[in-house]
Amino acid sequence: MKIDVVTLFPAFFESPLQVSLLGKAIGSGAIEVALHDLRRWGLGKHRTVDDEPYGGGAGMVMRPEPLFAATETLRAEDSTVILLSPRGRRLDQPAVVELSHLPHLVLLCGRYEGVDERVSEHAVDLELSIGDYVLAGGEAAALVLIETLSRVTPGVLGNADSLTRESHSDRLLEHPQYTRPSDFRGWGVPEVLLSGDHAAVERWRDEEAGRLTAERRPDLTE
């Protein structure tokens, strides 16, 4: 997968893209991430990318010309252009898996009070949100998307079975996890996990996943 990120702050991504599993995915060539400064397509000698909203109101709005120019430069026949936006489709694990099959993503990171609506209507294939809250810009959301995509890319995780047991992999939260010591400050580990009975362990994990989901995220099973 190739990912192009259009942003006013390329430096936001530099350190996260070099560390942990994400750095491994990029270093191995499993995914390719390129950063593009939106001001490359800015207007005039000051590389302007925003202006006051028509109709008045607080803040500034990102102009359409730089974003259209960026997408038209980066888009290929197999590209999908995504605007990170709080009003977009909610990102969940099924969406991550769906997007992971696409060969090329162009991610547009909004800023200020928003993006000119003509970008959403005519330059973008999908608007995507990582949650029901507002960020200062789309950079953090784009980074979340890139990391989630890297985790489902073949060869990135050391143990592929990890994907099948993670929260949201099958509309359930992940079961509780324990490690050494078996007794910590008087709090023990469930006996079934020490039993060596793998079938019993699997039943316990399934039951606990169902219990936690019902308690904390019943909406996942509705």
Q: Which residues contact 147 (CB under 8 A, 6 or more apart)?
A: 16, 21, 22
Each residue of 174-202: pLDDT tens digit?
999 999 999 999 999 999 999 999 999 99
Spell out the CATH class of 167-221.
mainly alpha
Residue-level pLDDT at 129: 97
Tokens of 139: 């950079």
Residue-level pLDDT at 155: 74
Residue-level pLDDT at 26: 95
Model confidence, pTM: 0.88
In the structure, what pLDDT confidence band is assigned to residue 212 with cuts at 50, 70 and 90? Answer: very high
Domain spans, the chain: 2-151, 167-221
Residue-level pLDDT at 168: 54
Mean pLDDT (whole number) for 123-127: 98
Tokens of 96: 């991550």
Residue-level pLDDT at 35: 98
Each residue of 31-89: pLDDT tens digit?
999 999 999 999 999 999 999 999 999 899 999 999 999 999 999 999 999 999 999 99
Residue-level pLDDT at 156: 83
CATH topology classification for 2-151: Alpha/beta knot (3.40.1280)
Task: Kindly give the residue spans of alpha helices, DSSP state H, lying in 56-197.
Answer: 64-74, 93-100, 117-122, 139-151, 162-165
- What's the alpha-carbon Rg for the chain, to the nearest Å? 21
Q: How many CB atoms lie within 10 A of CB 13?
A: 19
Q: Please state, for a pLDDT cut of 70, what percent of the chain lies above it.
A: 95
Each residue of 83-94: pLDDT tens digit?
999 999 999 999
Each residue of 150-176: pLDDT tens digit?
999 987 875 555 555 555 557 899 999
Residue-level pLDDT at 171: 82
